[in-house]
Structure 1
Amino acid sequence: MEQLIEFAGNNMLLAGAWVALVIMLIYSYVAGFTSGVKEVSTHETTLLINKEDAVIFDTRTPKEFKAGHILGARQIKPEELRAKDFKKLEKVKDKPIIVVCAMGNTARGVAASLIKDGFENVRVLKGGMNAWSAANLPVSK
């Protein structure tokens, strides 16, 4: 224990970085559990698409979307995301909605905005398109 304290005293920058990383890690786990946005795996996503006719909203850039997206996915334009304009999505309000981004991080904010706008059954694809592609699931180009 004395060596650890001595190391931290001699290497304040490294010790500070380590503490910051631990705090960020704990925060990400706690935020995931307390968030109103639920994450779904690739398997759960395919079940929702096939059995409950889920709607996929892709929040990536048009270039990324054209490079490959989930079959039947709709793209939400960046200007609509910034304005939080989800009026044209009212037709699918009663269906399960799965928000997708590249890695699953930015989709959480969009999903939270959708929930705040009155959409009830909103989820985020855990790992985003990277997880979808890694699972070798079909991609449309």
Structure 2
Amino acid sequence: MKAAFTLICFFFTVLCLGQTELDDMLQRYNTRSIPYISVEELRMLQTNESIIVLDAREKNEFEVSKIPSALYIGYSEFSSEGLSEKKIDKSTPIIVYCSLGIRSEVIGEKLKKEGYLNVKNLYGGIFEWKNNGYPVFDSQNVETENVHVCSKIWGKWLQNGTKVF
């Protein structure tokens, strides 16, 4: 019994420290100009068809895996004209994500400047989504364990799934 309690305490500590490290990293790179939404909140909202999920990663990352129903908008190739073509109402709730939530904040700021009123940044991005056991899909819409991590440095944040470089 004592060993089980010790093991539970160890895993709880690891989880808490991991979250604190993610908090510290996002605080270092983000200004929180776009409010966060948790992966749990997004998962609950996915049954609601009136939200739009936008992937702010590069095309090669998006092709490896994406969050269900996500639309590609990219980062370096981002253009607000692309959203106009998709005819997204500016009051529609929009959730933007990338790998961890850094690039998606930049894209979220651009969306706000374009007049989109309800933009949120997915806290921890697709890495946090996958770390929580939620499904991702490849370019053929087949569920996959693969997640593009860009580099070994950023890949340390993906704990669940197969890292693709």
Match of 2:53 among 38, 51, 56: 56
Residues 1:38 and 2:45 are matched in the alignment: no
Q: Say which structure, 1 or 2, has more relative contact order (CA 8 Å, 6+ apart).
A: 1
Residues 1:114 and 2:103 are matched in the alignment: no
8 A contact 1:111–1:123 mirrored in 2: yes
Deviations 1:65-93 (A, max 9, x none): 11110111100144641x44332243343
Residues 1:73 and 2:70 are matched in the alignment: yes
Number of matched residues? 113
Task: Give 1:140 deviation, angstroms.
Answer: 1.0
Task: Structure 2: give runs of 5+ residues left out of the alignment.
Answer: 1-23, 139-165
Rounded to whole Å, the distance in 1 between the matches of 2:31 and 2:107 is 15
Task: Structure 1: give runs of 5+ residues left out of the alignment.
Answer: 1-23
Q: CA RMSD in A?
A: 2.5
Task: Give 1:109 deviation, angstroms.
Answer: 0.9
Rounded to whole Å, the distance in 1 between the matches of 2:70 and 2:110 is 19
Task: Give 1:62 deviation, angstroms.
Answer: 1.4
Structure with the higher fraction of residues in helix conformation: 1
**Structure 2 counterpart of 1:130:** 127
Q: Secondary structure at the match of 2:48?
A: helix
Identity of matched residues, %: 28
Change in Cα spacing, 1:131 to 1:30, as seen in structure 2 (3 Å) is closer
State the TM-score, normalizing by the size of structure 2: 0.60
Larger Rg computed on CA atoms: 1
